[in-house]
Amino acid sequence: MSDAPLEGLAVLPGRLSAAEQRALADEVADVIAAAPLFTPVMPRTGAPFSVRMTNCGPLGWVADRAGYRYQPTHPETGDPWPAMPQRLIDLWSELGAPADPETCLINVYAPGARMGLHQDRDEGTFDAPVVSVSLGDTAVFRMGGTTRRGPTRSVRLASGDVVVFGGAARLMYHGIDRVLAGSSTLLPGGGRINLTLRRVTPWTTPSPKPRSSR
């Protein structure tokens, strides 16, 4: 991989102010109270992920022995996912994403948690970008190309940083190597929360209105 980033990749340090981070962290805590964290597992082996997670928005991503998928209800409570905080929808819009996001994955990283290299490809459309928001402790974010075995590079994502990957970068391999404990005081008890906004289904582009013949 060259030093040049893939087209469509943007790393935005400090995109959220300290006040915005605090407000968003409170809203995420409310979501977690309504939709408790659960531990996803690998489909074939049943091995648990090292992160715990939940979702908000019309759809939520789940992983269990049946596979990876999106569904409208929590896998343990059976309740619909809570509404997505408006500030996340506004952020998505400000970054130029089309239509509204349909899901926000909430991944909670305790000490020692990580996320292996993977692509986000369970969606029905890859035209919309993925928008990723970091809260809490700094993470070492590894980025590759669109093949698993390609070269990679890493950057540190601090609380309030936002990453957008669309275009050629929409299917880039990425993951979290480690979280730097104690690097932020935002979250009670420490740790890191990653919020990932995605569009799951294709959107319909409105047809242009016909011009009047008058």
Q: Which pTM does this prediction carry?
A: 0.91
pLDDT confidence band for 47 (50 / 70 / 90): very high
Q: What is the reported pLDDT for 207? A: 43
Question: Distance between CA atoms of 199 and 206, rounded to whole angstroms?
Answer: 17
Q: What tokens were used for 169? A: 């970068």
Q: Is residue 206 part of a domain?
A: no
CATH number at residue 144: 2.60.120.590
Q: Is residue 114 part of a domain?
A: yes
Percent of the chain's residues with pLDDT above 90? 87
Q: Is residue 160 part of a domain?
A: yes
* Average pLDDT score over residue span 98-109: 96
Structural domain span for residue 189: 9-198
Q: What tokens were used for 212? A: 């009047």
Nearest to 89 by CA among 188, 176, 191, 195: 195
Q: Is residue 88 part of a domain?
A: yes
Taking only the tens place, the pLDDT of each residue in 166-213 is 999 999 999 999 999 999 999 999 999 999 999 999 986 544 444 443
Q: What is the reported pLDDT for 178? A: 97
Q: What is the reported pLDDT for 206? A: 47
- Our count of domains for the chain comes to 1
Q: Is residue 207 part of a domain?
A: no
Taking only the tens place, the pLDDT of each residue in 7-42 is 999 999 999 999 999 999 999 999 999 999 999 999
Q: Is residue 208 part of a domain?
A: no
**Whole-number Cα distances in Å, 45 to 40, 64, 66, 74, 206:** 12, 9, 11, 22, 44
Q: Is residue 66 part of a domain?
A: yes
Q: Is residue 184 part of a domain?
A: yes
